[in-house]
């Protein structure tokens, strides 16, 4: 189990640090809780000062009765749980893109939406406009793909929600219906929408650097300057963006 701590130092700066990998015999919530407690004790940390905990959406992590987040929350009512945004995004892409039938449904919903918007004059028809799109899967090694995934989701927001709600009613099994309903409701949550737009703004800033680093003729002096410019830009965005 990887452990990352985010904290505020004496100067008020937000610091995030990867602090280690803990060996666990299994991934049930009680084993993970025990491993965290031992790690905290070894490093003179206390659960009473924790103000947030973030994991993926697996039942052993976010279970309302016996999940890891609930065990920590029972011990400390200030340790609020946050579902990893990247995991939520991946769940939506996986659910909606799991079959050709669901992809076709997205295309139909998108087409119908475009037709209505063209008829009302909201968008203009013409060559090269209103092209058919599909959700993009984020890659493990290319951060630019994450930007593409979020942008596609924002562009296909209405069709994706309609497909998720349809799956919540007509899914082949209870797990599919439950996951689809959960993701559809998540997309109506202010926090999810806010983080999506926040990540678009941040990833647009880092994407230029990412593209530059992939150039074969890039030189180290230029790279150092690009990194400094990006750090300044992000700091400015944090302070008053």
34/24 Cα distance (integer angstroms)? 9
> In this predicted model, what pLDDT tens digit does every residue of 153-187 receive, in sequence order?
888 888 888 888 888 888 888 888 888 888 888 88
Rounded-to-integer distance, Cα 154 and Cα 58, Å: 25
Alpha carbons 20 and 39: distance in angstroms, whole number = 9
Mean pLDDT across 130-146: 60
Query: 25-39 pLDDT, tens per residue?
Result: 888 999 999 999 999
Tell me: pLDDT of 128 over 60. no
- pLDDT, residue 35, reads 92
Find, among 179, 168, 204, the residue nearest to 56 by Cα. 179
Q: Classify residue 78 as exposed, middle or buried by CB count within 10 Å of its CB (0-12, 13-18, 19+).
A: exposed
Of 49, 48, 46, 25, nearest in space to 35 by CA: 25
The pLDDT score that the predictor gives to residue 116 is: 74
Stretch 225-241: mean pLDDT, rounded? 88
Q: Per residue, what are the HEC states of 54-95?
A: EECCCHHHHCCCCCHHHHHHHHCCCCEEEECHHHHHHHHHHH
On average, the pLDDT of the chain sits at 83
């Amino acid at each position: 189990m990887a452990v990352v701590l985010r904290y505020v130092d004496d100067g008020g700066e937000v610091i995030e640090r990867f602090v280690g990998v803990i060996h666990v015999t299994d991934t049930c919530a009680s084993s993970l809780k025990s491993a965290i407690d031992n790690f905290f004790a070894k490093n003179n940390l206390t659960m009473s000062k924790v103000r947030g905990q973030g994991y993926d959406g697996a039942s052993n992590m976010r279970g309302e009765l016996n999940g890891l987040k609930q065990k920590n929350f029972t011990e400390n009512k200030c340790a609020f749980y946050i579902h990893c945004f990247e995991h939520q995004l991946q769940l939506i892409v996986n659910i909606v893109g799991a079959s050709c039938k669901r992809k076709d449904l997205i295309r139909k919903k998108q087409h119908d939406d475009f037709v209505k918007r063209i008829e009302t004059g909201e968008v203009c028809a013409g060559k090269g406009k209103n092209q058919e799109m599909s959700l993009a899967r984020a890659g493990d090694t290319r951060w630019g793909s994450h930007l593409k995934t979020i942008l596609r989701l924002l562009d296909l927001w209405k069709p994706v929600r309609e497909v998720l709600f349809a799956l919540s009613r007509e899914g082949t099994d209870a797990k599919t219906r439950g996951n689809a309903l959960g993701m559809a409701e998540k997309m109506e949550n202010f926090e999810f929408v806010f983080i999506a737009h926040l990540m678009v703004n941040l990833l647009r800033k880092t994407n230029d650097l990412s593209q530059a680093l992939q150039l074969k003729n890039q030189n180290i002096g230029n790279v150092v300057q690009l990194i400094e410019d990006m750090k300044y830009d992000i700091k400015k965005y944090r302070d008053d963006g």
